[in-house]
């Protein structure tokens, strides 16, 4: 036999052996699948493993537990309740999950994790005190899961027991000293309860102990600002600006802080670079300049806005504040084209500009279109002023 023929024979032999092994493997796979098909619990477990939870539910709900136990003395009831409880949790049918886990924690083969699952089911079903009890039992049984303590905190808050929620946060901080979520939550809880100085002190300690990102500084500072504690808020918002000078959110948060304190020019200087990146904020940057009486800068930024409606309304208000009534009156065509002249507030502002520009006919035409009762009263004030001007023209010169 030639060398070439020998090589072909060996290749053919390897191919045949490979096909034989594959055939046996396929046979084994088919046998395994048939075995699973005859075992609904194994089939349900496979469905759960593959995240086909509704299929698993369908399989498990077809099982008649009493008949299954009667037919098979070795039927694994613990496995049945475990798979059923987990499936109902996964498809968010928490009320149906509860009885399965209640049976499991009373059984001889109970596991600590069952208390965790039962706590989750109770919590999602709105049984908050029962959820708390199961969390405590799970912890006593050695379950280590920070999320369980947060569930306990939230459950106490929903039950209107803030001080017990605080105790739970202390417990979490004690069990998980390196988990920054617990001291962070304590800060926001203190702000919610009105203990602002304590929240600020804890916040400063937090930023020194952990490595917070800009969002943490901003969240603490913003929360304090909303509570009206501007000086305390400033400690965090100014610090984040120093640490992250180019962070857009840090600049925006500090700008809003300065605006709340009526430091409009400082706010405007911070908001402008943010607006260059986020154009929808351009009119806000222009408005801050307007409030700081920097009208030329306000008009410059206004012109760069891509939001046509806000741009036109703002430009009209700037012209009115500047006393440039002719320019304001000349905006009617643009206002009408954009569709915002249907707003009675805009009609009134334009009518006022026409009045101050001395065009009484167009003023009256616009005033007659106003339907809003509150603005209608203001329109009558302009009419009275026009009447006075017509009687004594020198008063309106």
Cβ neighbours of residue 231 under 8 Å, at least 6 residues apart? none
Min mean pLDDT across 23-37, 316-330, 358-372 is at 23-37
pLDDT band of 31, cuts 50, 70, 90: very low
Give the mean pLDDT of 287-291.
Answer: 96
pLDDT band of 12, cuts 50, 70, 90: low
Distances (CA, A) of 258 to 15, 251, 255: 79, 11, 5
Using DSSP, state whether 38 is helix, strand or coil: coil
pLDDT band of 347, cuts 50, 70, 90: very high
What is the distance between the alpha carbons of residues 339 and 368, in angstroms, rounded to a whole number?
18
What is the distance between the alpha carbons of residues 96 and 82, in angstroms, rounded to a whole number?
12
pLDDT at 37: 55
pLDDT at 32: 43
pLDDT at 29 over 50: no
Give CA 241 to chain center in angstroms.
Answer: 23
- Specify whether the CB–CB gap between 57 and 87 falls below 8 A: yes
Residue 244 falls in which region: left (phi positive, over 0), alpha (psi -120 to 50) or beta: beta
Look at the block and give the residue holding tokens 């029962």: 130
Torsion of CA 10, 16, 20, 25, to 10 degrees: 80
Mean pLDDT of the chain: 86
Give the mean pLDDT of 64-85.
Answer: 83
Domain boundaries defined on the chain: 178-260, 262-306, 324-396
pLDDT at 174 over 90: yes
Cβ neighbours of residue 189 under 8 Å, at least 6 residues apart? 162, 165, 166, 169
Provide the percentage of residues in the chain whose pLDDT is more than 70: 88
- Specify whether the CB–CB gap between 300 and 273 falls below 8 A: no
Give the mean pLDDT of 156-172.
Answer: 95
**Residue 394 carries which DSSP code?**
G
pLDDT tens readout for residues 266-288 = 999 999 999 999 999 999 999 99
pLDDT at 27 over 50: no
pLDDT tens readout for residues 202-247 = 888 888 888 888 888 898 888 888 888 888 888 899 999 999 988 9
- Specify whether the CB–CB gap between 288 and 259 falls below 8 A: yes
Give CA 100 to chain center in angstroms.
Answer: 33
pLDDT at 386: 84
pLDDT band of 130, cuts 50, 70, 90: very high
The verdict on domain 178-260 having CATH code 1.25.40.10 is yes
């Amino acid at each position: 036999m030639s060398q070439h023929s020998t090589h072909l024979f060996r290749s053919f032999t390897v191919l045949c052996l490979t096909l034989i092994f594959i055939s046996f493997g396929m046979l084994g796979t088919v046998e395994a699948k048939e075995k699973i098909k005859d075992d609904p619990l194994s089939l349900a477990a496979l469905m759960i493993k593959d995240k086909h939870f509704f299929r698993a539910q369908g399989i498990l709900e077809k099982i008649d537990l009493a008949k299954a136990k009667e037919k098979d003395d070795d039927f694994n009831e613990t496995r049945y309740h475990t798979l059923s409880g987990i499936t109902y949790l996964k498809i968010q049918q928490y009320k149906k999950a509860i009885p399965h886990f209640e049976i499991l924690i009373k059984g001889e083969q109970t596991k600590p994790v069952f208390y965790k699952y039962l706590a989750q089911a109770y919590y999602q079903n709105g049984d908050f005190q029962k959820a708390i009890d199961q969390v405590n039992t799970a912890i006593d049984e050695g379950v280590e899961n920070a999320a369980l303590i947060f569930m306990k905190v939230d459950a106490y808050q929903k039950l209107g027991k803030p001080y017990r929620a605080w105790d739970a946060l202390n417990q979490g901080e004690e069990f998980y000293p390196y988990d920054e979520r617990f001291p962070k939550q304590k800060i926001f809880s203190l702000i919610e309860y009105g203990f602002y100085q304590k929240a600020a002190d804890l916040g400063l300690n937090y930023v020194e102990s952990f490595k917070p990102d800009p969002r943490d500084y901003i969240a603490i500072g913003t929360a304090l600002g909303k509570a009206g504690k501007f000086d305390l808020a400033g400690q965090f918002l100014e610090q984040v600006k120093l640490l992250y000078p180019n962070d857009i959110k840090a600049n925006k948060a500090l700008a809003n802080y300065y605006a709340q304190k009526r430091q409009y020019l400082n706010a405007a200087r911070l908001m402008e670079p943010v607006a260059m990146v986020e154009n929808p904020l351009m009119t806000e940057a222009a408005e801050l300049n307007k409030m700081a009486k920097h009208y030329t800068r306000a008009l410059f930024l206004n012109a760069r806005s891509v939001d046509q409606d806000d741009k036109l309304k703002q430009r009209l208000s700037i012209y009115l504040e500047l006393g440039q009534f002719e320019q304001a009156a000349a905006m009617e065509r643009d206002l009408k084209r954009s569709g915002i002249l249907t707003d009675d507030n805009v009609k009134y502002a334009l009518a006022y500009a026409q009045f101050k520009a001395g065009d009484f006919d167009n003023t009256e035409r616009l005033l007659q279109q106003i339907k809003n009762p509150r603005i209608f009263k203001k329109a009558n004030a302009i009419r009275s002023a026009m009447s006075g001007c017509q009687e004594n023209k020198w008063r309106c010169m």
